[in-house]
């Protein structure tokens, strides 16, 4: 299956289990893999036959910067659901949300959640 990749989009969000995270906010990185058939767009060279990258970015920005969740898992789940609901051409999505320097004991560069979801019609 073909895919469109969005690599290391950076956002400022207010997600976390600790009050300080919800108040001060922090950086989050999001990677997306959108699985869909790109052959029609490849032949037609028309935007309406594919996914508008700007629209996907804006949807991602809305979820990460405007909504608040305690868990990064919830951010990833919401993002996957919103994109699949909004873009029926996408058959499957892989979402990776990375939280750099999480406030947990020990030295961690980052933690990340990665989920893969399919359109409801493909879950049969």
Tell me whether residue 99 is one of the annotated catalytic residues. yes
How many residues are given for the chain? 124
* Neighbouring-strand partners of residue 95: 32, 115
Distances 112 to 3, 53, 115 between C-alpha atoms, Å: 21, 23, 10
CA 77 to chain centre: 8
From the list 19, 40, 99, 121, the catalytic residue is: 99
Alpha-carbon distance of 20 to 37, in angstroms, equals 43
Active-site residue numbers?
Answer: 99
């Amino acid at each position: 299956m073909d895919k469109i990749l969005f690599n290391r989009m950076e956002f400022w969000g207010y997600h976390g289990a600790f009050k300080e995270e919800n108040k001060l906010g922090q950086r989050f990185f999001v990677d997306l893999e959108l699985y869909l058939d790109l052959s029609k767009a490849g032949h037609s060279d028309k935007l309406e036959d594919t996914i508008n990258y700007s629209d996907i970015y804006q949807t991602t920005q809305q979820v990460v910067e405007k909504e608040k969740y305690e868990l990064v898992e919830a951010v990833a789940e919401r993002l996957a659901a919103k994109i699949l609901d909004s873009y029926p051409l996408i058959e499957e999505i892989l979402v990776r949300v990375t939280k750099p320097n999480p406030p947990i004991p020990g030295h961690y560069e980052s933690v990340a959640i990665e989920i893969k979801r399919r359109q409801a019609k493909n879950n049969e």
